């Protein structure tokens, strides 16, 4: 890009952080030392990042395994039976037309239930990662069945090799509709998929040329789906069999040839490592902490499982800088509550509430997924989080299954013990003295049914609880 | 002792007395207030930014129908001559923009042709970022309007000095020192609490205390504290006057129309709004472009006409300037999917009571292309510079970092 001879740095007032500073203020991460010093806090942190949080019983169970054992259990999830598998996936036919809207709600509720019930926390967390990374949106795809298949594909390959995942997603019906590969034809290549494949999914801007985009689009020509079954097929008449020069190599590549070149590219490991590290540990990592994750990628033949292992077992993952360094997405916020409090809701109203919080599952705003981080928090989305909590604690008696059970029988009990139990379960027992005092002063000496509800609201509404 | 964010926001000048470094632009803001402003640099002028997200096909928006290359490049997607709304003998509007044509006929619509920037980027994300932070060489997280807020409005006490319609704050409005409210809809924009609506309960007061007392040394402290306080203040203020708003026209029943109606309310209630932002999407027409773009342009035009008429009836049309933008135009030659791929330059619309209607900039050539794409003729920062100087009362260099020639549309 040519120079335009401009630029001034972003305005900063010395000594203060910008609103959009991610994670800890510079030099202040020492406040997160609680993570380095306490095993229970490490387990809480691990299950928040490599999962969606857990109830007291589960936290205790993982604590007994120790940190290394807990990581092992999370990674080898196929050894754990998953009750989430008993939740029947919805069945959709292709060509739903006007019924798409209801179908999407059904699809969202199914996945939310899975995430809530799963005993394989890392598996569902990685499905969620891939959904936000190799993303597709129902508004363009228009076929809930294809979106469901994509979600199942991510589940079957959540920790597989990147090579397998990319070759699979390049054949995925939802993806091919979403990024227009179904209209990518020999005479007029459509560059949409080829471009995003490199720009967003694998290499990042600056590591390929416009010519690479054009050549790889040719390699994917004719890759399409059978309109009746939604299955992958190659339309040989539309496939450009000629030689292509891509990332410096010349050959008669098809889509798999393009993926083969991409996964071996020196930019692929660092790019994915950085993305995964930011998702699991903390934003804007230094190259030194990303490097071992990238090394694991190349050394293991592009294994996602080995990359995740490298992150979860790193010092950086349990460092001060990682503690509460991520803003919870609406999915993480809601599932964190559901799982910690052991709720079994039907999730009927949840997709609606999530719209207001800025996240619609199966409908990311762009091929780049959800930008996340501080972007999750603005006046509107914050208010919707608080209002969700209001509805949660004021649930009608007939919806008792979604009523937090820890509220039952609390009337007349000492408020202080209740506050400390909640802060222990939901905030690692770690809030400022001022916040604890404000909660105690609100709760009074002994609980009433109303004050118990409001204390739950307040603890889940704290600034600390918005962070993972 | 440290001062809290809110105290800081409430008294912008306090930072001088506690000895923090003051960026030179603050001093500028003070001197500028004393400077003799142009006729339109009054305090209460409002800019409304309308984002056409996805990359709008400029060639089928402001159509160079008299150029033979238009037909050659658009054999299937070209708009038929008899459907084009002619503006003079060279260009015309897409038929979906009939409502905008009325505003053109009234002399309230300016069109700037061929707007882009050097080294065009064909990525949605990167190009949106470039348009929004107005800085092609950095991916800074502060927007161009955010820099204007930081430099000129840090001490403005109005919570609605800026407002975004939607769930997410666009980069252009991200400031280092201010949190601009994002309002998705009036209905849900309040903090639910036990007891009567509108009366602040002890629970809400405690909640706010948890945020104002959140240590400034904690992660995301500035963001969380200011957001909670901003949500409380802005919702209280918005709900106060919301029940009795009577629009003077019927707004289209689209999310865009509903959002504009809310903006009209904020503007006419004098809540201090200086910059409003609203987005309308669906312009990424890689396939099936004809019906999709027609529908999107109609939503845009009918919404803006209703908005303008409403403001006009309320005596506010001359206090509001509306600017559209899209991250890029599209490839000159149509693709094989009845669509168009990512391109470069495209036209911008400027609308308002003080706008000098007409066509500005130079038409981009349809034959002298850069990799199949138009070469821009006007840098978008010239449009920003014009608005900053003539509408927002700023020294454009403070915000844009360099000088760009102003245009004549105001």
| Minimal Cβ distance to A382: which of B166, B193, B227 | B227
Cβ-contact B346, B58 below 8 angstroms: yes
| Minimal Cβ distance to B118: which of A2, A439, A462 | A2
Asked whether residue B1 carries a pLDDT value surpassing 80, the answer given is no
Q: What interhelical angle do A350-357 and A330-340 show, nearest 10?
A: 140
Q: Among B105, B140, B6, B236, which Cα is nearest to A7's?
A: B140
Q: What is the mean pLDDT of residues B376-404?
A: 95
Asked whether residue A269 carries a pLDDT value surpassing 80, the answer given is yes
Which residue in the block uniquely carries the two structure tokens 């930072």?
B15
Residue A221, CB-side half-sphere exposure with 13 Å CA sphere: 26
Tokens of B26: 């603050």
Chain B residues with CB-CB distance to A205 below 8 A: 121, 123, 126
- Gyration radius from chain A CA atoms: 24
| Minimal Cβ distance to B335: which of A188, A378, A383 | A188
ipTM > 0.85, yes or no = yes
- Measured CA to CA, the distance from residue A284 to residue A286 in angstroms comes to 7
Q: Among B134, B179, B277, which Cα is nearest to A18's?
A: B179
Which residue in the block uniquely carries the two structure tokens 């097929």?
A233
The rounded Cα B221 to chain-centroid distance in angstroms is 27
Number of C-beta neighbours around residue A193 at 10 A = 26
Chain B residues with CB-CB distance to A6 below 8 A: 135-137, 400-402
Residues ≥6 apart with Cβ < 8 Å to A344: A116, A117, A401, A402
According to the model, what pLDDT value does residue B200 have? 66
Task: Give the residue with greater pLDDT, B99 vs B123.
Answer: B99
- Measured CA to CA, the distance from residue A407 to residue A25 in angstroms comes to 36
Tokens of A439: 């909660």
Number of C-beta neighbours around residue B218 at 10 A = 20
Q: What interhelical angle do A379-393 and A449-461 show, nearest 10?
A: 150
Task: Examine residue A346 and state whether it is found in any structural domain, yes or no.
Answer: yes
- The secondary element (H helix, E strand) that includes residue A111 is helix A100-117
**Is the minimum CB–CB distance between B229 and chain A shorter than 8 Å?**
no
Give A296-320 pLDDT, tens digit per residue.
999 999 999 999 999 999 999 999 9
Task: Examine residue A345 and state whether it is found in any structural domain, yes or no.
Answer: yes
Q: By CA distance, what is A388's nearest residue in B?
A: B192
Q: Among A392, A391, A404, A465, which Cα is nearest to A429's?
A: A465
Chain A residues with CB-CB distance to B15 below 8 A: 13
Task: Give the residue with greater pLDDT, A446 vs B185.
Answer: A446
Task: DSSP for B34-58, please give it.
Answer: HS---TT--TT-EEEEEEETT---G
Tokens of A448: 């009433």
Give A51-86 pLDDT, tens digit per residue.
999 999 999 999 999 999 999 999 999 999 999 999
How would you label B165-195 residue by residue, b for 16+ Cβ within 10 Å and e otherwise?
A: bbbbbbbbbbbbbbbbbbbbebebbbbbbee
Asked whether residue A342 carries a pLDDT value surpassing 80, the answer given is yes
Chain A residues with CB-CB distance to B220 below 8 A: 21-23, 327, 374, 377, 463, 466-467
User: Does the CA dihedral A139-A141-A144-A150 come out positive or negative?
Assistant: negative
Task: Give strand pairing partners of A108.
Answer: none
- Measured CA to CA, the distance from residue A128 to residue A132 in angstroms comes to 6
- Measured CA to CA, the distance from residue A450 to residue A223 in angstroms comes to 60
Region for A372 from its dihedrals, namely left if φ exceeds 0, alpha if ψ lies in -120 to 50, beta otherwise: left
pLDDT band at A402 (very low <50, low <70, confident <90, very high): low
Task: Examine residue A291 and state whether it is found in any structural domain, yes or no.
Answer: no
According to the model, what pLDDT value does residue B34 have? 34
Asked whether residue B41 carries a pLDDT value surpassing 60, the answer given is no
Burial of A9 per CB tally in 10 Å (0-12, 13-18, 19+)? exposed
Give A412-462 pLDDT, tens digit per residue.
899 999 999 999 999 999 999 999 999 999 999 999 988 999 999 999 999
Asked whether residue A407 carries a pLDDT value surpassing 80, the answer given is no
Asked whether residue B19 carries a pLDDT value surpassing 90, the answer given is no
Task: Give the residue with greater pLDDT, A93 vs A398.
Answer: A93
- Measured CA to CA, the distance from residue A466 to residue A121 in angstroms comes to 20
Residues ≥6 apart with Cβ < 8 Å to A61: none
Chain A residues with CB-CB distance to B335 below 8 A: 188, 190
Cβ-contact A111, A151 below 8 angstroms: yes
Q: What is the mean pLDDT of residues A371-389?
A: 91
Q: What is the mean pLDDT of residues B190-206?
A: 83
Reduced DSSP (H G I as helix, E B as strand, rest coil) percent helix, strand, coil of chain A, to 5: 60, 5, 35
Q: Looking at the 3D structure of chain A, how many domains does it have?
A: 1
Q: What is the mean pLDDT of residues B159-172?
A: 87
| Minimal Cβ distance to B226: which of A19, A438, A467 | A19
Tokens of A37: 């010093």
Q: What is the mean pLDDT of residues A335-360?
A: 91
Lowest-confidence region among A138-147, A403-412, B197-206, B393-402? A403-412
**Contact check, Cβ <8 Å, B25/A11:** yes
Give B324-349 pLDDT, tens digit per residue.
999 999 999 999 889 999 999 999 99
Chain B residues with CB-CB distance to A385 below 8 A: none
Asked whether residue A27 carries a pLDDT value surpassing 80, the answer given is no
User: Does the CA dihedral A453-A454-A457-A460 come out positive or negative?
Assistant: negative
Region for A80 from its dihedrals, namely left if φ exceeds 0, alpha if ψ lies in -120 to 50, beta otherwise: beta
Task: Examine residue A227 and state whether it is found in any structural domain, yes or no.
Answer: no
Q: Among B271, B274, B259, which Cα is nearest to B51's?
A: B259
Task: Examine residue A82 and state whether it is found in any structural domain, yes or no.
Answer: no
The rounded Cα B378 to chain-centroid distance in angstroms is 18
According to the model, what pLDDT value does residue B280 have? 94
Average pLDDT, chain B: 86
According to the model, what pLDDT value does residue B123 have? 80
Asked whether residue A6 carries a pLDDT value surpassing 90, the answer given is no
Asked whether residue B213 carries a pLDDT value surpassing 90, the answer given is yes
Asked whether residue A406 carries a pLDDT value surpassing 80, the answer given is no
Asked whether residue A390 carries a pLDDT value surpassing 80, the answer given is yes
Cα distances (Å, whole numbers) of residue B83 to A130, A361, B60, B181: 45, 40, 12, 41
Asked whether residue A372 carries a pLDDT value surpassing 90, the answer given is no
- Measured CA to CA, the distance from residue A189 to residue A212 in angstroms comes to 13
Phi, psi torsion values for B285, nearest 5 degrees:
-95, 70
**Is the minimum CB–CB distance between B286 and chain A shorter than 8 Å?**
yes
pLDDT band at B198 (very low <50, low <70, confident <90, very high): low
Ordered by start, the domain boundaries in chain B are 36-186+242-400
Lowest-confidence region among A23-32, A100-109, A248-257, B24-33? B24-33
- The domain B36-186+242-400 is classified under which CATH number: 3.30.499, 3.30.457, 1.10.150, 3.40.720? 3.40.720
Average pLDDT, chain A: 91
- Measured CA to CA, the distance from residue B136 to residue B126 in angstroms comes to 9
Q: Among A354, A281, A316, A358, which Cα is nearest to A45's?
A: A281
Q: What percentage of chain B reaches a pLDDT higher than 90?
A: 65
Which residue in the block uniquely carries the two structure tokens 């409908």?
A363
Asked whether residue B48 carries a pLDDT value surpassing 50, the answer given is yes
Asked whether residue A5 carries a pLDDT value surpassing 50, the answer given is no
The rounded Cα A254 to chain-centroid distance in angstroms is 31
According to the model, what pLDDT value does residue B122 have? 84
- Measured CA to CA, the distance from residue A172 to residue A191 in angstroms comes to 17
Q: What percentage of chain B reaches a pLDDT higher than 70?
A: 86
**Contact check, Cβ <8 Å, A9/B125:** no
> What is the DSSP secondary structure assignment for residue B253, as one 8-state letter?
S
Cβ-contact A222, A239 below 8 angstroms: yes
Q: What is the mean pLDDT of residues B342-367?
A: 97
Q: Among B54, B78, B45, B46, which Cα is nearest to B325's?
A: B54
Task: Give the residue with greater pLDDT, B238 vs A147.
Answer: A147
Q: How far A88 CA lies from chain B's nearest CA (Å)?
A: 32
Q: How far B170 CA lies from chain A's nearest CA (Å)?
A: 9
Q: What is the mean pLDDT of residues A124-142?
A: 95
Give A196-244 pLDDT, tens digit per residue.
999 999 999 999 999 999 999 999 999 999 989 999 999 999 999 999 9
Asked whether residue A399 carries a pLDDT value surpassing 70, the answer given is no
- Measured CA to CA, the distance from residue A150 to residue A171 in angstroms comes to 10
- Measured CA to CA, the distance from residue B288 to residue A240 in angstroms comes to 23
Determine the structural domain holding residue A344 and report its residue range.
326-466
**Is the minimum CB–CB distance between B210 and chain A shorter than 8 Å?**
yes
Region for A346 from its dihedrals, namely left if φ exceeds 0, alpha if ψ lies in -120 to 50, beta otherwise: alpha
């Amino acid at each position: 890009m040519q120079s335009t001879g401009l630029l001034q740095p972003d305005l900063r007032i010395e000594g203060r952080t910008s609103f959009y500073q991610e994670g800890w203020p510079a030099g202040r991460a020492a406040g997160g030392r609680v993570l380095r010093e306490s095993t229970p806090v490490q387990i809480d942190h691990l299950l928040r990042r490599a999962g969606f949080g857990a109830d007291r019983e589960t936290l205790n169970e993982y604590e007994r395994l120790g940190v290394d054992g807990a990581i092992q259990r999370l990674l080898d999830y196929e050894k754990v039976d998953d009750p989430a598998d008993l939740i029947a996936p919805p069945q959709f036919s292709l060509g739903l037309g006007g019924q798409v809207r209801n179908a999407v709600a059904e699809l969202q509720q199914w996945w939310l239930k899975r995430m809530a019930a799963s005993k394989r926390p890392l598996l569902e967390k990685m499905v969620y990662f891939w959904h936000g990374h190799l993303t597709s949106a129902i508004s363009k795809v228009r076929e809930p069945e294809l979106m469901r298949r994509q979600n199942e594909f991510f589940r079957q390959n959540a920790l597989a090799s990147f090579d397998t995942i990319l070759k699979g997603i390049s054949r995925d019906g939802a993806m091919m509709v979403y990024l227009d590969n179904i209209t990518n034809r020999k005479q007029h290549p459509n560059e949409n998929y080829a471009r995003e494949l490199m720009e967003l999914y694998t290499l990042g801007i600056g590591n390929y040329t416009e010519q690479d985009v054009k050549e790889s689009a040719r390699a994917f020509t004719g890759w399409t789906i059978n309109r009746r079954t939604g299955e992958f097929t190659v339309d040989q008449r539309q496939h450009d069999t000629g030689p292509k020069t891509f990332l410096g190599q010349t050959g008669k590549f098809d889509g798999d040839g393009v993926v083969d070149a991409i996964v071996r590219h020196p930019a692929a490991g660092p790019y994915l490592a950085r993305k995964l590290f930011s998702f699991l540990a903390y934003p804007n990592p230094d190259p030194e902490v990303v490097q071992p994750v990238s090394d694991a990628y190349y050394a293991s033949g592009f294994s996602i499982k080995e990359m995740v292992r490298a992150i979860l077992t790193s010092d950086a993952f349990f460092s001060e800088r990682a503690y509460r360094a991520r803003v919870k997405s609406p999915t993480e916020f809601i599932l964190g509550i559901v799982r910690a409090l052991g709720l079994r809701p039907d999730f009927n109203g949840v997709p609606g509430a999530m719209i207001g919080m800025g996240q619609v599952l199966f409908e990311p705003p762009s091929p780049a997924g959800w930008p996340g981080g501080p972007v999750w928090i603005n006046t509107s989305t914050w208010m919707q989080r608080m209002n969700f909590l209001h509805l949660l604690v004021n649930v009608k008696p007939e919806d008792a299954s979604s009523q937090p059970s820890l509220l039952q029988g609390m009337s007349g009990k000492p408020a202080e013990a209740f506050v400390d139990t909640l802060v222990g379960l939901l905030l690692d027992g770690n809030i400022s003295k001022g916040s604890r005092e404000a909660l105690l002063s609100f709760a009074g000496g002994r609980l009433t049914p109303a004050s118990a509800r409001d204390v739950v609201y307040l603890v889940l509404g704290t600034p600390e609880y918005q962070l993972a | 002792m440290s001062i809290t964010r809110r105290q800081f926001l409430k008294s912008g000048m306090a930072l001088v007395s506690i000895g923090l470094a003051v960026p030179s632009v603050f001093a500028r803001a003070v001197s500028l207030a004393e400077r003799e402003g142009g006729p339109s640099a009054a305090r209460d002028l409002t800019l409304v930014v309308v984002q056409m997200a996805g990359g709008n096909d400029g060639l089928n928006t402001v159509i160079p129908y008299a150029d033979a290359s238009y037909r050659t490049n658009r054999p299937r997607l070209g708009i038929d001559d008899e459907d084009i709304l002619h503006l003079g003998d060279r260009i015309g509007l897409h038929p979906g923009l009939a409502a905008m044509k009325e505003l053109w006929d009234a002399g309230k619509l300016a069109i700037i042709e061929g707007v882009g920037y050097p080294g065009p980027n064909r990525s949605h994300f990167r190009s949106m970022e470039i348009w929004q932070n107005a800085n092609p060489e950095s991916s800074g997280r502060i927007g161009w309007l955010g820099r204007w807020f930081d430099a000129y409005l840090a001490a403005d006490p109005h919570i609605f000095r800026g407002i975004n319609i939607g769930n997410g704050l666009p980069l252009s409005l991200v400031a280092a020192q201010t949190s601009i409210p994002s309002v998705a809809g009036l209905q849900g924009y309040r903090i639910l609490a036990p007891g009567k609506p509108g009366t602040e309960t002890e629970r809400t007061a405690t909640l706010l205390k948890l945020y104002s007392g959140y240590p400034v040394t904690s992660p995301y402290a500035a963001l969380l504290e200011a957001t909670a306080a901003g949500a409380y203040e802005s919702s209280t203020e918005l709900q106060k006057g919301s029940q009795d708003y009577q629009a003077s026209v019927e707004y289209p029943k689209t999310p865009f129309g509903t959002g504009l109606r809310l903006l009209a309310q904020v503007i006419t209630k004098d809540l201090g709004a200086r910059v409003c932002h609203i987005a309308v999407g669906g312009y990424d027409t890689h396939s099936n472009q004809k019906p999709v773009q027609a529908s999107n342009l109609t939503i845009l035009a009918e919404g803006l006409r209703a908005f303008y008429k409403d403001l006009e009836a309320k005596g506010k049309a001359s206090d509001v300037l509306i600017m559209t933008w899209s991250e890029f135009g599209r490839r000159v030659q149509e693709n094989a999917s009845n669509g168009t791929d990512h391109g470069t330059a495209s036209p911008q619309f400027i609308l308002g009571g003080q706008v000098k209607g007409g066509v500005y900039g130079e038409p981009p050539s349809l034959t002298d292309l850069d990799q199949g794409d138009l070469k821009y003729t006007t840098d978008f920062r010239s449009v920003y510079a014009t608005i900053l100087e003539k509408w927002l009362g700023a020294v454009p260099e403070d915000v844009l970092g360099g000088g760009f020639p102003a245009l004549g549309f105001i």
